[in-house]
Amino acid sequence: MINALILILRDVTIQLKTEEERKAFVSNVSHELRTPLTTVTSYVEALVDGAKENPEVMNDFLSVIQNETGRMSRMVSDLLELSRMDQGTMEVKTELVNLNSLMNFVLDRFDMILSNDNNELNTKPLKIERQIPEDEYWVDVDHDKIMQVLDNLLNNAMKYSPDGGTITVTLQKNGENVQVAISDQGLGIPKKDQARVFDRFFRVDKSRSRAMGGTGLGLAISKEVIETFGGKIWVESKEGVGSTFKLELAFVDDELLQSGKRWDDD
């Protein structure tokens, strides 16, 4: 007779971690959607109960409803985009992009936004300082996706900047890479939170922000996009001083690119 014992060990650490992340994700989505839905429901009920009889109150309520439904729409769009990234079905159309021209194009738009906001709110204006060289830096990316990343980072810098603050945007060569840095003069990110700022739905203390209403997914999407193109993105921050978000992409060195043609030229 042969007595034997078969012992099978299976490491389920990754499985358990994935399950916990899935549960946390579902919980976060439910929480983030519940807040605007509750707001919309409350305001609609108030309108039905008679608030619509006062035109001024009705307009205020409708404005809130419009903002909250817009927020939910953006959140659903962001979630769908993250889902496509997770499944590897995100549509990507890469081409050689002049990063200098693209960044100036994006910053021109934000200068206009800041100019309009400052005129309407009559506050101490935010300003953007550019440090973009004349030398052309080319990268092989999907320019729409990179524009989305720049939009996310600049919106983030605006949200956490104090009135009268300066947002500094720098473009420079770093070895074989091109580095973009976007710095604000906000309250900074606590060291314990810096490793989590690119997590989905993670937010630093809301009291540090000058504006509300984000989806909590912008930085997560930015990280996924940059890594799709073989780059990296990270944050450097010091409390009381501000934060700098940096990203690096591979530099494309080709003499034929030095033609002076803009990325958005026909």
At residue 220, does pLDDT exceed 60?
Answer: yes
Class in CATH terms, 13-87: mainly alpha
**229 φ/ψ angles, rounded to the nearest 5 degrees:** -95, 20
Instruction: Extract the tokens encoding 246.
Output: 């940096």
Delimit the CATH 3.30.565.10 region(s) of the chain.
95-257
- Tokens 């081409």, residue located: 95
Delimit the CATH 1.10.287.130 region(s) of the chain.
13-87
Bridge partners, 181 (sequence order): 170, 246
| Strand pairing category for 242-250 and 177-183 | antiparallel
pTM of this prediction?
0.73
So what's the pLDDT on residue 123?
65
pLDDT digits (tens, 9 = 90+) for 24-73: 666 667 767 787 888 889 989 989 888 888 888 888 889 889 888 888 88
Instruction: Extract the tokens encoding 186.
Output: 């906000």
- Neighbouring residues of 56: CB distance < 8 A, sequence distance ≥ 6: none
So what's the pLDDT on residue 19?
74
Model confidence at 75, pLDDT cuts 50, 70, 90, reads: confident
Task: List the CATH code of the domain at 95-257.
Answer: 3.30.565.10
Bridge partners, 114 (sequence order): none
pLDDT digits (tens, 9 = 90+) for 133-184: 988 999 999 989 999 999 999 999 998 888 889 999 999 999 999 999 999 9
Q: Which position has the higher pLDDT, 17 or 234? A: 234
